[in-house]
A and B are shown apart, each in its own frame.
Chain A
Amino acid sequence: GAGVSQSPSNKVTEKGKDVELRCDPISGHTALYWYRQSLGQGLEFLIYFQGNSAPDKSGLPSDRFSAERTGGSVSTLTIQRTQQEDSAVYLCASSLGTSGMSTDTQYFGPGTRLTVL
């Protein structure tokens, strides 16, 4: 079946512009995660959606970052007034979101490489 998809795969923008990154999770997965991977750094958690619960935004680095998940499926990560330090690969993952041995596995998309000039 189809995995997690993300678009665009690459995005080059100018400092100060807003960008939107899209994630389509695996159908039926109620949990969705955004991560950021900067050069030489590990993956950094950004935000987590679980069903209709309030999202866990504890990883968002500043108020320029926001994310939505419409209809419990597609999610959009928005970065306003982009800065050069926002350059990174933004990864989205989804999981079934229920407890149990195999259902906690997170399945990752290919990522969006963002370059801020």
Chain B
Amino acid sequence: KQEVTQIPAALSVPEGENLVLNCSFTDSAIYNLQWFRQDPGKGLTSLLLIQSSQREQTSGRLNASLDKSSGRSTLYIAASQPGDSATYLCAVRPIVTGANSKLTFGKGITLSVRP
């Protein structure tokens, strides 16, 4: 059974700092990995999706890397801003046949960026 772990559960940093959020998964047989952002009381917003054949994806100040063999992904946020404060979740999609396409999520990292 796939398990996704995100440690620490919470992180507080001063504005302007570059930071790395970690995600680990137990089963390397994944189709892709996705990073999401969730603001309090809101749904999830997809940030980056990395296919299993890729090493990284970039969008603006965000860079996500994937090391499938070691079961790890990182989300790098450059020059953090208070508006980046949210919960960041990673999720993996397994390699399966048929109709099964469910994501397995980590519990998320709650980030607070202090002005």
Please, how many angstroms separate the alpha-carbon atoms of A110 and B46 in the complex? 13
**Is the Cβ of A42 less than 8 Å from the Cβ of B43?**
no
* Residues from 42 to 56 in A contacting B, C-beta threshold 8 Å: 42-43, 45, 48, 50, 53-56
User: Which residues of B pack against A, CB within 8 Å?
Assistant: 4, 31-32, 34, 36, 41-46, 49, 51, 89, 91, 93, 99-108
What are some 6 contacts across the A-B interface (CB < 8 A)? A45-B103, A104-B32, A105-B34, A107-B46, A108-B44, A109-B43
Q: Is the interface of B mostly helix, strand, loop or mixed?
A: strand
Please, how many angstroms separate the alpha-carbon atoms of A91 and B106 in the complex? 15
Q: Is the interface of A mostly helix, strand, loop or mixed?
A: loop
**Is the Cβ of B49 less than 8 Å from the Cβ of A105?**
yes
Interface contacts (Cβ under 8 Å), in number, total 66
Q: A105-B49, A106-B46 are in contact. Are A48 and B100 (CB under 8 A)?
A: yes
**Is the Cβ of A42 less than 8 Å from the Cβ of B107?**
yes
**Is the Cβ of A104 less than 8 Å from the Cβ of B99?**
no
Tell me which of B4, B93, B102 contacts A104 (CB under 8 A): B93
Tell me which of B42, B100, B103, B107 contacts A106 (CB under 8 A): B103
Tell me which of B36, B49, B91, B99 contacts A50 (CB under 8 A): B99
Please, how many angstroms separate the alpha-carbon atoms of A43 and B92 in the complex? 12
A62, CB-defined interface residue at 8 Å: no
Additional 8 contacts, C-beta under 8 A, given A108-B44, A110-B42: A42-B4, A43-B91, A43-B103, A45-B103, A45-B104, A48-B102, A104-B31, A105-B49
Q: Specify which chain B residues have a CB less than 8 angstroms from the CB of A28 in the assembled complex.
A: none
Q: Specify which chain A residues have a CB less than 8 angstroms from the CB of B41 in the assembled complex.
A: 113
**Is the Cβ of A59 less than 8 Å from the Cβ of B44?**
no
Tell me which of B32, B45, B102, B105 contacts A56 (CB under 8 A): B102
**Is the Cβ of B108 less than 8 Å from the Cβ of A50?**
no
Give the distance to chain A from B4, nearest Cβ to Cβ, in Å: 8
Q: Mark A41-82, 1 if CB is under 8 A from B, else 0.
A: 111010010100111101100000000000000000000000
